Amino acid sequence: MSEQFKALVLNQKGEEFSREIKSIDKSFLKHGDVTIKVEYSGLNYKDALILKNGARLVKEFPHIPGIDFSGVVHESNHKNFKSGDEIILTGWRVGEIYFGGYSQFAKVNGDFLVKKPKNLDLRQSMIIGTAGLTALMCSFTTKATREELLLGEKVENVIVSGASGGVGSMAVMMLSKLGCNVTAVTGKESNIDYLKSIGAKNVINTKELNKDARPLDKGLWDGAVDTVGGKVLENILAQTKETGIVAACGNAADIKLNTTVMPFIIRGVKLWGINSVNASIKRRNFLWNEAGKLIDFGILEKSIKEINLDEVINIFPKMLKGETSGRYIINLNK
Ligand SMILES: NC(=O)c1ccc[n+]([C@@H]2O[C@H](COP(=O)([O-])OP(=O)(O)OC[C@H]3O[C@@H](n4cnc5c(N)ncnc54)[C@H](OP(=O)(O)O)[C@@H]3O)[C@@H](O)[C@H]2O)c1
């Protein structure tokens, strides 16, 4: 292991909040029993919130952010992992209360790690990352839960909000691969062609859903994936057809939800919360093994921006303003 390596370190002293690329050594890494040479990390909305000011998610400073990463085990004191194993990490509050992946070496609890499936490489694993895992959970909930678990009607017409974001774009592709007609909701007219290229049948502007919702509207959707919350989610609930499942995972627009009981008691609509952070390892292994089958990397690659640690500092404010699209991955060797 190199004596010194690079990491993005956040610090807070009084009112002053700093972000710096620092040269550190392994004595800096204080959590966990498996040391990993990180190859790729992701830039997620939650990372952007943490990079801004810790977002009250970070309890101690100095701190290394980065809520997801892929890499190779360097040293392990955990029974399930040995040097050379290729792993994926997402969630478990790594990058929040534990040091994360914005570092050339990371040390985490081996219980948090998933062995990388053979049909993905380390870069592809981070193209999927937290966003993809969350999109998978949402997509399976919307489609398979209704069709297979609840033995319901086939899910044909689905809507995905925040469609050009990390979770949204992946959900558009996955639901389209699962055979649904996907309507993508975006605030960016310039992304219409891109959204169609990843599988959207129709694209509507966020403005159309950013209005006060009626208790019940014309039923249009068999299922939905919502990444933005607020009025958009209120309208999606009102437009969801009998027994449809709305998988809600995000709050990119608003944490508030002002709705009525009508969609739930008249149409049996289900609002299904998604939290990928604490998903069990059993579920993660299943989802990661499905991931490669539902992603067309040839198409997705065009929307992937590969950046280095320095670039993260310039890009995260744009993500917080909703000015970014697609998935950003951080190459720790760049
Ligand atoms: N529950 C979980 O386990 C979990 C896991 C991962 C992420 N999340 C959450 O899911 C959400 C999306 O995450 P992400 O990583 O995909 O973020 P992202 O890449 O920044 O995408 C968010 C998208 O939402 C849309 N958007 C942004 N601001 C908006 C606004 N004010 N009104 C309406 N739409 C807006 C934009 O889509 P358009 O450009 O298409 O308009 C944007 O691209 C976040 O809230 C994140 O915290 C939750």
Model confidence at 2, pLDDT cuts 50, 70, 90, reads low
Instruction: Give the tens place of pLDDT for each residue, 268-289.
Output: 999 999 999 999 999 999 999 9
Residue closest to 82 by CA, chosen among 113, 117, 38: 113
Ligand 1 center to 325 CA (angstroms): 10
Model confidence at 179, pLDDT cuts 50, 70, 90, reads very high
The SS3 of residue 54 is coil
Please give the radius of gyration of the chain, using alpha carbons only, rounded to the nearest integer.
20
* Pocket lining: 46 vs ligand 1, CB cutoff 6 Å: yes
Domains of the chain, start order = 5-116+304-331 (3.90.180.10), 131-273 (3.40.50.720)
* Pocket lining: 152 vs ligand 1, CB cutoff 6 Å: no
Our mutation pick for probing the ligand 1 site, out of 227, 303, 329, counting the most ligand atoms within 8 A of Cβ, is 227
Q: Look at residue 324 in the predicted model and tell me its pLDDT.
A: 87
Q: Look at residue 1 in the predicted model and tell me its pLDDT.
A: 61
* Pocket lining: 103 vs ligand 1, CB cutoff 6 Å: no
Asked if the model's pLDDT at residue 166 lies above 90, the reply is: no
Query: By the 8 A CB rule, do 235 and 209 touch?
Result: yes
**Count of alpha carbons within 13 Å of 178, Cβ hemisphere only?**
26
Ligand 1 center to 232 CA (angstroms): 12
Q: Buried b / exposed e across 196-212, counting CB within 10 Å, b at 16+?
A: eebbbeebbebeebbee
Our mutation pick for probing the ligand 1 site, out of 140, 161, 167, 303, counting the most ligand atoms within 8 A of Cβ, is 167
- Where are the extended beta strands (E) located within 93-213? 105-108, 114-115, 157-160, 181-186, 200-205
Asked if the model's pLDDT at residue 326 lies above 80, the reply is: no
* Pocket lining: 206 vs ligand 1, CB cutoff 6 Å: yes
| Position in ligand 1 atom list of the atom nearest CA 274 | 1
Ligand 1 center to 163 CA (angstroms): 8
**Cα 270 from chain centroid?**
22
Can you tell me the distance from the alpha carbon of 227 to that of 206, in angstroms, rounded to the nearest whole number? Answer: 12
- To the question of pTM greater than 0.95 for the whole model, the response is no
Cis omega (within 30 of 0) on the bond before 62? yes
